[in-house]
Amino acid sequence: MKGAWKLRLRMILTSILMFTIVYFLIMLVGMYLGISSWTLYMGMSLIIVFLQYWFGPSLVKRSMNVRPLSEAEAPHIHQMVQELADEAGIKKPELGLSEINIPNAFAYGRSSRSGHIAITRPILGLLDRDELRAVLGHEMGHIKHNDMIVTAAVSVIPMICYYIALSFIFSGDSRNGGGIIIGLLGYLFYLIGQLLVLFISRTREYYADAASVEFGNRPAALVSALYKLSYGAARCNKETIDNLNTNRAFFVNDINNAKHDIHDFQQIDFDGDGRISDEELRRLANSDVKISKKTGLMELLSTHPDSLKRVKRLAELEN
């Protein structure tokens, strides 16, 4: 796949940096506690990462209330997924239906050989065929790139740093301030780790978008789908959004930024019909897109790219 090596390289470098951070922090903990076998703590951290890798897909399935979607229930969707899998050159993922009240889709699994794609029930009445196929192509891109499990595995590392920070900052055992220093370092590494996880999460979305186009979908169809999904998320109550907040990185778009995204999409919806046409996307491809400093800062703290930057990338694929 074109340019996919860049995504793999970024994931590898991010993973190395994340493991270096946790390795260094645990080494400091071992030295501080006077434990010569501090490698035991490193082993425990690796076990935690492995458990996240192994049980992560099951946790996602349970938390998102996913059940198998049989071919008899949705033959046209199964056909789309099979066609996309053939285009991607991978095994057809298992297809599921998520019983959550927000229109979206997501991919999960340990590898491209054991991938799953789930759609939520509200998406079925919201997107047309081309838009749904474009979204499924986006999720197929995640499975093809094996990026969802890398994100899931490294996302646990900041939490390890966070719990180390809490343990030492509030332990009450200062030992000349050494414990406080380790606690503060742990919290700093937690913040850095969170930013790295968000960075790799945003990066993988660009490549999944490009993969959907490479699998034969129109960029405008995917942009229209994102537009409609933003409207769908904006209509949901705050409780629904909050309940799904920890899993929002799996979705096609960031459900927390739905209202902001709608404002961005409306700027390029020149005829105001609630969808983005090929012509509207071509007009964007020949325009400059600038985002404010505030929006740029918001993007750093988001699981998904800024919507205008994302659409601009897709517009360039239209040409």
Out of 71, 73, 87, 139, which one is annotated catalytic? 139
Q: Are 92 and 143 in contact (CB under 8 A)?
A: no
CB burial class (10 A; 0-12, 13-18, 19+) of residue 133? buried
3-class state of residue 116 by DSSP = strand
What is the rounded CA–CA span in Å between residue 179 and residue 189? 15
What is the rounded CA–CA span in Å between residue 33 and residue 38? 9
C-alpha distances in angstroms, 24 versus 20, 179, 274?
6, 15, 51
What is the rounded CA–CA span in Å between residue 4 and residue 246? 27
Q: Which helix (H) or strand (E) holds 3?
A: none
Residue 139 bears catalytic tag: yes
Q: Hey, which residues are catalytic here?
A: 139
